[in-house]
Copies of this chain bind each other. A is one copy, B any other.
Amino acid sequence: MRIESLFDQQTQQIKIAVDCIIFGFNNNRLECLLIHREAEPQKGKWSLIGGFIGNDEDLDEAANRVLYNLSGLENVYMEQVKAFGKANRDPRGRTISITYTALILRSEYDDDKIKDHGAKWFPVNDLPELAFDHIDMVEAAIIRLRRRVRNTPIALNLIPEKFTIPQLQALYEGILDEPLDKRNFRRKIAQIEAIVKLGEKDMTASRRGAFLYAFDENLYNNTQYFNL
C-alpha cells in the first residue's frame, strides 16, 4: 500500500528541530528573546532559541528542554505555532522546524539568569539580523499574537486584575506597536460588556483618579459577537 511502500522505499534524510519565539512584555513594548550564534553557520548572527529533538523525547518536552538549556526559562506555557518545512530553509541540511511561542511578562522572570545563558531581549520592532528563516518565524508568531490580542482577551493576562483604561490602552499599543485613538479605544472598550467598570478608582496617576475595570471571563464566554 502506498503509505507502507513510501515508508520502506525512502530513507528519509530530514532533521527535526524546535524553535521557540518567546515574547516578553516590558515597559509597554513587545520584546523577543534571542541568542547569539558563537559558531558557524551564520556565526555572529542572532537566532531564536532552538535545537534538535531527541530520539526518545516528546515534541513538547524538546521545546521545554531547549528553552531551559538556552535561556534558563522554566515553566513557560508555550503553544505550537506551525512547522516550517521549506526544503532549503537550512544550509546545514534539510531540517523541518516546529515553532513554539509564548507571551510572558518580563518582570516575572529572572533577567540575570537569561543573561548568564547568553540570551537577550530585543524589541520586536528593532530586531537584529536573524539566522536562517527565523525572521519569518518571528513574523508568523507576531501576526498570530496580534490577531489573538485584537480578537480575544489574552492580553488581559498581562495586567493586574483591576486596571484602568489608560493602562489597558498602553498594553494594547505596546503589543500592537501602534498608537490607538483614545476616544475610539474608550468607545470600543465600553462596547465590551465583559470589561466591567468597578466602583473603585485608582488615585495614583491623577488627582481626579481613574476608574478601575475588571474582566469577567464568564460574561465574555456568553457574549462573544459571533457565538453560535
Which of chain A's residues 154-195 have a Cβ closer than 8 Å to chain B?
172, 180, 185, 188-189, 191-192
One digit per residue, 1 when the CB lies within 8 angstroms of any chain B CB and 0 when it does not, for chain A 114-153 equals: 0000000000000000000000000000000000011111
Does A211 touch B at the CB level, under 8 Å? no
Please name all residues of chain B whose beta carbon is closer than 8 Å to the beta carbon of A47 when the two chains form the complex. Answer: 3
Residue pair A92, B7 in contact (C-beta under 8 Å): yes
Size of the chain A interface, CB-CB below 8 angstroms: 62
B58 touches A2 (CB 8 A): no
A6 and B51 contact, CB distance less than 8 A: yes
Kindly provide the distance from the CB of A23 to the nearest chain B CB, expressed in whole angstroms: 18
A56-B12 in contact (CB<8A) = no
The one of B40, B54, B87 that contacts A58, using a Cβ cutoff of 8 Å: B87
Which listed residue (B4, B87, B227) contacts A188, Cβ 8 A?
B227
The answer to whether A53 and B85 have CB atoms under 8 Å apart is: yes
Chain B residues with CB below 8 A from A60, complex form: 85
| B2 with A70: CB separation less than 8 A | yes
A82–B60 alpha-carbon span in the complex (Å): 12
Stretch at the interface among A26-34, A105-113, A202-210, A218-226: A218-226
A96 within 8 A of B: yes
**Separation of A37 and B3 alpha carbons in the complex (Å):** 9
Complex interface: chain B residues within 8 A of A1 (CB): 37-39
User: Given A96-B59, A151-B227, A3 and B83 touching (CB < 8 A)?
Assistant: no
User: A interface vs B, CB < 8 Å?
Assistant: 1-4, 6-7, 10, 12-16, 35, 37-40, 47, 50-60, 62, 69-70, 80, 82-87, 92, 94, 96, 98, 149-153, 172, 180, 185, 188-189, 191-192, 220, 223-228
Listed by A's residue number, 7 A-B pairs whose Cβ atoms lie within 8 Å are A6-B51, A12-B55, A14-B15, A59-B83, A59-B96, A149-B228, A153-B226
